[in-house]
Amino acid sequence: MTETETAAAPPAAEAPTGRITAIRGAVVEVRFSGPAPAINTRLLAGPRGACVIEVATLIDRHTVRGLVLNPAERVALGMAVTDTGGPLQAPVGEGVLGRMIDVFGHPLDGKGPLENVQYAPIHRPPVPLTRRRPGGEIFQTGIKAIDLLSPIERGGKAGLFGGAGVGKTVLITEIIHNMVAEYEGVSLFCGIGERCREAEELYREMRASGVLDGAVLVFGQMNESPGARFRVGHTALTIAEHFRDAQHRDVLVLIDNIFRFVQAGAEVSGLLGNIPSRVGYQPTLGSELGALEERICNTDAGAITSIQAVYVPADDFTDPAATHVFSHLSASVALSRKRASEGLYPAIDPLKSASKMLTPGTVSDRHYDVARAVRRELAEYEALSDIIAMLGLEELSEADRATVARARRLERFLTQPFFTTEQFTGLPGRLVPLEDTLEGCARILSGALSHLPESAFYMAGTIAEVEARAAEAAA
């Protein structure tokens, strides 16, 4: 147990120390008879301290403005408020494994209270640079387009960028299916602004696949207050840091959706009366996102690997929320609405996705060469697409027609049936090792498979499956 952890939540003071003097939505002003508590202090109001308030700003020496984190509880003018003397606390330890909890650490799975846990404050500074350890190992997902063109770093941060309905949640659910079963460390799923349907489905799927016992699920759902959605990410990272620092275990943190964190911050900022910045976002967007993201890192004790879904408003990748998240990531996977409309799933845009891992010194020479060749082939095909649309394929030179044939086969080979969509597509899922992906792409680039029909490459796993399909169709 570290110095910042206690065996139970700190007891509240016996006598109330303040009164609610103003209420504006989910924001209240509290007047204290003595000195005002510090920012981020947890206050309790209402009968039995059921209403939780977090101090957000100080108005004067005796008055604070705070966020009501569970506004379903009734608040009223003149209500007594108790200063707990400390920040919000999150449960940490072995007792949270296999459980679904909310921002306060309360169970959501109906299995009774948590046992064998300690409590730690959710607000912590990032690990100093002197204690950080650089990564360098690839984290394979079994998804061809990601492993080939945008490999994820073990101990790094990867983002899945896309607009509404292009497959971010499906992709992160498939990553959970592929990686959590094989992952030796702790898996932690953080749902920020999740729909209750998605939370229930994820819990049921993880329980059915037998991986729930090594995982923790933390949810701040869409119907909760902006303050709760804004703090649920800090609760999740506090749990992850305990497993890394106290138990020396690697942690896989999956966040869906980090944009909801930014959105909750904008709501909180508006409620507190701050003047909005560009495109209506809060002026503190960069510092708030940095305070969360910089806690995800490697140390000598262990590694935290994070994969985050990022909603891109109106498919605008220049949106301030998307650009701020971009700057923290080691790998970015961009999802394309155009590819989704063509039925090329996962709808990963190979030309916009990137990873700092895709360098000759980090991946093998073969991986680097194949990935560059695939990207070059697809870029040439995109450059020819306008000519094809206006004049037709017949007007291209022989070399360009061969490029188009290879690129179209590569596009279809990089599609893949998912385990999590079997009930909708009727196609059994495929987990493809990186070596099989490299072998298939290399053979397509060499032109050795140009005689096979394009349809044989669509929604296939390995190149052996493609050849078997083609032979079956020919027979």
Distance of CA 412 to the CA centre of its chain: 27
Put residue 442 in one of left, alpha, beta given phi > 0 → left and psi -120 to 50 → alpha. alpha
Catalytic annotation present for 195: yes
For residue 178, say if its preceding peptide bond is cis, omega within 30 degrees of 0.
Answer: no
Render the burial of 207-217: b for 16+ CB within 10 Å, e for the rest.
eeeebbebbbb
Question: What secondary structure does DSSP assign to 43-74, as a single string?
Answer: EEESGGG-EEEEEEEE-SSSEEEEEES-TTS-
E strands along 69-125, which residues?
80-87, 89-92, 100-101, 118-121
How far is residue 158's CA from residue 253's CA, in Å, rounded to a whole number?
A: 10
Residues 447 and 402: beta-carbon distance below 8 Å: yes
User: 65, 99, 144, 168: which is the annotated catalytic residue?
Assistant: 168
> CA separation (Å) from 398 to 378, 392, 417, 443?
17, 13, 33, 20
Active-site choice (195, 338, 366, 376):
195
Nearest to 429, CA basis, from 325, 308, 341, 345: 345
Query: Does the annotation mark 168 as catalytic?
Result: yes
DSSP state of 425: H
| Cα 188 to Cα 446: distance, rounded to the nearest angstrom | 42
Total H helices, total E strands in the chain: 13, 18
Following DSSP, what letter does each residue of 274-323 receive, concatenated? PPP-GGG--TTHHHHHHHHHTT--BBSS-BEEEEEEEE-GGG-TTSHHHH
| C-alpha span between 305 and 9 (Å, rounded) | 28
Peptide bond into 433 cis (omega under 30): no
Q: What is the DSSP letter of 207?
A: H
Catalytic residue among 153, 194, 224, 411: 194
Q: What are the backbone dihedrals phi and psi of residue 41, each rounded to the nearest 5 degrees, phi first?
A: -75, 145
Which positions are annotated as active-site residues? 168, 194-195
